[in-house]
């Protein structure tokens, strides 16, 4: 008697084999580079590379964007050695730095309106107690709150000033955004307006013009190379090379120069453009 064959298609075993092949192909596709991004899935590996909010430090983007050359040439010009520190350094041995010739220091006080340096008291008071002329700096995040709000936060959390001969005016650290787009999503005009808001508020609170810390290439890219601040705000320029190089528009000279992030004892070393009595003059206003 002839065997009757089903007209319903492939056998169950064949269907399972085909389904298994399809699942394997889909699994392989999803593991290919770029597959997650193409499908709209969040790239957790890329996100993990961004630092946590609050961890930004003065000059952290300089090497990546401007490179790094040699140490400053000996020009015989009188300069005074300084350092800048943040929570990254923890408790600093100020006696060691003092004995090495460092005579002034800046400590990170705040960032945005969400961070204060947990080591601020040890660093700010420790440098003062050893005999240094000291000051505080604020790492700006123009994409989070206004310049005025951040200036007030800075003054309220260690960024104030007193005419005691040993306290320098506060610093606005405005540079590459470590958390996103380098200009914080602002146009050049918007960035200039934000900076103006900060420095005007700082002066209203303290009576002093804030120092502006920046790198020339960032300033050119993100402010359109604005010349609006050179007549009022001292310049602290970042460049890790043998010379200070081109300055941002509006400044014919620099007051301070951050010249390396790999100096002795603490990484960030700086030079004040003048003798110690000029550092004292800036402290006194």
pLDDT of residue 73: 67
Residue 43 shares a structural domain with residue 66: no
| Judgement on whether residues 85 and 156 belong to the same structural domain of the protein | yes
Count of structural domains, the chain:
2
What's the pLDDT tens digit per position in 80-93? 999 999 999 999 99
Instruction: For tokens 């004892």, name the residue.
Output: 265
- pLDDT for the residue numbered 58: 81
Let me know whether 79 and 189 are in one domain: yes
- Regarding whether 149 and 274 lie in a shared domain, the answer is yes
pLDDT digits (tens, 9 = 90+) for 66-80: 666 666 767 768 999
Angle made by CA atoms 250, 252, 258, in degrees to the nearest 5: 95
188-206 and 147-154 are packed helices; what angle lies between their axes, rounded to 10 degrees? 40
Does the residue 56 lie in any domain? no
Of 20-34, 225-239, 267-281, the least confident: 20-34
Domain assignment of residue 93, yes or no:
yes
Helix (H, G, I), strand (E, B), or coil: what is residue 255? coil
Residue 53 domain flag? no
Taking residues 26-32, report their average pLDDT.
Answer: 40
Q: Is the pLDDT of residue 95 over 90?
A: yes
Q: Does 198 score more than 90 pLDDT?
A: yes
Residue 36: inside a domain? yes
Q: How many Å apart are CA 22 and CA 56, to the nearest integer?
A: 47
Residue 26 has pLDDT above 70, yes or no: no
Determine which helix (DSSP H) or strand (DSSP E) holds 138, and give its type and residue range: strand 133-139
Give pLDDT, residue 113: 98
Tell whether 35 and 114 lie within a shared domain: no
**Which pLDDT score is estimated for 34?**
36
Give domain status of residue 78, yes or no.
yes
Same domain, 80 and 41: no
Model-wide pTM > 0.85: no
Beta strand pairing call for 133-139 and 104-111: parallel
On whether residue 148 sits in a domain, the answer given is yes
In a domain, 57, yes or no: no
Per-residue pLDDT at 69: 60
Distance CA 143, CA 146 (A): 8
Write out pLDDT tens, residues 138-169: 999 999 999 999 999 999 999 999 999 999 99
- Rounded-to-5 percentages of helix, strand, coil across the chain: 35, 15, 50
Average pLDDT over residues 100-127: 98
CA–CA separation, 237 vs 251, rounded Å? Answer: 10
Residue 54 lies in a domain: no
Average pLDDT over the chain, rounded to an integer: 85
pLDDT at 80: 97
- Are residues 102 and 239 located together in one domain of the fold? yes
Q: Model confidence at 47, in pLDDT bands (50, 70, 90)?
A: very low
pLDDT for the residue 77: 80
Give φ, ψ of 134 to 5 degrees: -125, 165
The CATH number of residue 203's host domain is: 3.20.20.80
CA distance 78 to 280: 15
Note down the domain range covering 30. 1-47
Q: Which residue has the tokens 């014919």?
A: 252
Both 122 and 233 in a single domain? yes
pLDDT for the residue numbered 5: 41
| Position 96 pLDDT exceeds 60 | yes
Instruction: Based on the fold, state whether residues 162 and 109 are members of the same structural domain.
Output: yes
Decide: 64 and 261 in contact? Cβ < 8 Å.
no
Is there a single domain that holds both residue 227 and residue 163? Answer: yes
Distance CA 187, CA 136 (A): 28
What is the reported pLDDT for 4?
Answer: 40
Active site residues: 84, 173, 175
Read off the pLDDT band of 25 (50, 70, 90): very low
| One domain for residues 80 and 138 | yes
Does 41 share its domain with 180?
no
């Amino acid at each position: 008697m002839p065997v009757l064959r089903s007209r319903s298609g492939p056998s169950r075993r064949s269907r399972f084999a085909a389904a298994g092949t399809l699942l394997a192909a889909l699994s392989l596709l999803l593991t290919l580079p770029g597959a997650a991004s193409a499908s709209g899935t969040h790239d957790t590996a890329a996100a993990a590379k961004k630092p946590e909010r609050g961890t930004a430090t003065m000059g952290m983007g300089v090497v990546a964007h401007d490179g790094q050359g040699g140490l400053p040439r000996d020009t015989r010009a009188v300069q005074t050695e300084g350092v800048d520190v943040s929570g990254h350094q923890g408790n600093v041995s100020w006696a060691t730095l003092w004995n090495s010739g460092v005579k002034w220091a800046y400590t990170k006080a705040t960032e945005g309106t969400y961070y204060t340096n947990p080591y601020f008291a040890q660093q700010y008071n420790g440098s003062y107690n050893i005999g240094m002329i000291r000051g505080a700096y604020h790492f700006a995040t123009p994409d989070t709150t206004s310049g005025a709000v951040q200036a007030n936060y800075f003054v309220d959390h260690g960024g104030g000033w007193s005419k005691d001969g040993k306290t320098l005016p506060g610093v606005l650290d405005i540079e590459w955004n470590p958390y996103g787009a380098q200009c914080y999503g602002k146009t050049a005009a918007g960035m200039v307006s934000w900076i103006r808001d900060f420095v005007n508020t700082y002066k209203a609170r303290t009576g002093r013009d804030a120092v502006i810390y920046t790198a020339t290439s960032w300033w050119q890219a993100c402010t359109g190379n604005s010349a609006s601040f050179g007549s009022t705000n001292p310049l602290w320029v970042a460049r890790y090379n043998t010379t200070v190089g081109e300055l941002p528009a509006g400044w014919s000279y620099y007051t301070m120069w951050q010249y390396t992030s790999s100096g002795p004892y603490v990484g960030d070393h700086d030079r004040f453009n003048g003798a110690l009595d000029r550092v004292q003059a800036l402290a006194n206003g």
